[in-house]
Amino acid sequence: MASVAFAPLTPLRYALKFALISFLCDVWTQICDRFKIKSTGIRWRLSSFIELRRAFFAHLWRVFGRGSDQHIHNYKQALLSPAQGVVLDLGAGLGGTASYLSRDKVFCYIAVEPNIHMHSELRDAAHEAGFHESDGTFVLLSCGAEDVRAISDCASTVNTPTNTQGSVDSIICILTLCSIPNAERIVTQLVKEVLRPGGTLFMFEHVRHPIISVAWWQWLWSPLWSVFFDGCRLDCVTDQWVEEMRDIEESGRNIAMWKERELKSDKGDGWEDNIIYHVIGTFVKHD
């Protein structure tokens, strides 16, 4: 249990080691720009805690992101191979998901990423995977997942053979729902209003541990963890509310959101003492 209690210290220590100096240099540049000491031409809201947190996380994820993607490569490859049509990627980050999408099956890749500090790498990753703004196969939205109207309006402008009433065919959530405020309400709304009937939600997330003692440590560490990892919490019950998601028919009858669902947990060696506990899920919306 001691290993669980102090497990977050290692990634937090590496976060400070690899991202702090770059982050402080970034902040100093913005201070110089604000007081006309030096002009950079790049501005972001220095006074916003959320923006500071995002700036720090962008530096951090440039170091951690590639290793994280390699660690879950096989999971993502198996999970995302069926993705097709118009794909909506919530919290696209540095674009690590784009390379897993089949260019033959995916007509348009819509990346939702509110952290503007990641946009350059995200755009490069999408282009490398064959998705471009110039031909309408790639759209980068700087809003958050909570801006359902902007996402819906974007989907309605996509002109593909599968686009049905401005809907998307696939929604992808890779290690992102843990950092979205009011995620249950927002994602449920997105599934209801943006995901087409018969469309699929693909999910790879870390969630609250099924062992209560480990879940307690997740809860204890989450406030500090969220500061360095852009709002991420370790103790979200994402798997439960996604699996139990409900919808309302035109007649007013309350029904299950999913006609098909598959949810698995990553119970590899030592999972009982792993404070970061993952689940992998595929959910097909009712017709």
The candidate with the shortest Cα–Cα distance to 98, out of 131, 120, 69, is: 131
- The pLDDT score that the predictor gives to residue 64 is 86
Question: What tens digit of pLDDT does each residue of 226-278 get?
Answer: 999 999 999 999 999 999 999 998 888 999 999 999 999 988 777 888 999 99
pTM of the model: 0.91
Average pLDDT over residues 83-97: 96
Q: Which of 272, 281, 266 is nearest to 72 (CA)?
A: 266
The reported pLDDT for the residue numbered 230 is 93
Predicted pLDDT of residue 148: 95
**What is the model's pLDDT at position 45?**
57
Q: What is the pLDDT of residues 41-86, one digit of tens each?
A: 555 555 578 888 999 999 999 988 888 888 899 999 999 999 999 9
Cα 113 to Cα 93: distance, rounded to the nearest angstrom: 6
pLDDT > 90? residue 218: yes
**Assigned CATH topology for domain 72-285:** Rossmann fold (3.40.50)
Using only C-alpha atoms, the chain has a radius of gyration, in whole angstroms, of 19
Task: Provide the pLDDT for residue 283.
Answer: 98
What is the arithmetic mean of pLDDT over 178-187? 95
At 173, the pLDDT band (50, 70, 90 cuts) reads very high
Mean pLDDT of 167-187: 96
Q: What is the pLDDT of residue 38?
A: 57
CA angle 141, 173, 52 (to 5 degrees): 55
What pLDDT score was predicted for residue 270?
79
pLDDT reported for residue 46? 58
pLDDT digits (tens, 9 = 90+) for 31-42: 777 666 655 555
Average pLDDT, the chain: 90
State the pLDDT confidence band at 27, using cuts at 50, 70 and 90. Answer: confident
Q: Out of 11-15, 25-29, 103-107, 245-249, which region has the weakest mean confidence (pLDDT)?
A: 25-29
What is the predicted pLDDT for the residue at 155?
92
Residue ranges of the domains in the chain? 2-70, 72-285
In SS3 terms, the chain reads as: CHHHHCCCHHHHHHHHHHHHHHHHHHHHHHHHHHCCCCCCCCCCCCCCHHHHHHHHHHHHHHHHHHHHHHHCHHHHHHHHCCCCEEEEEECCCCCCCHHHCCCCCEEEEEEECCCHHHHHHHHHHHHHCCCCCCCCCEEEECCCCCCHHHHHHHHHHCCCCCCCCCCEEEEEEECCHHHCCCHHHHHHHHHHHCEEEEEEEEEEEEECCCCHHHHHHHHHHHHHHHHHCCCCCCCCCHHHHHHCCEEECCCCCEEECEEEEEEEECCCCCHHHCCCEEEEEEEEECC
pLDDT mean over 96-117: 95
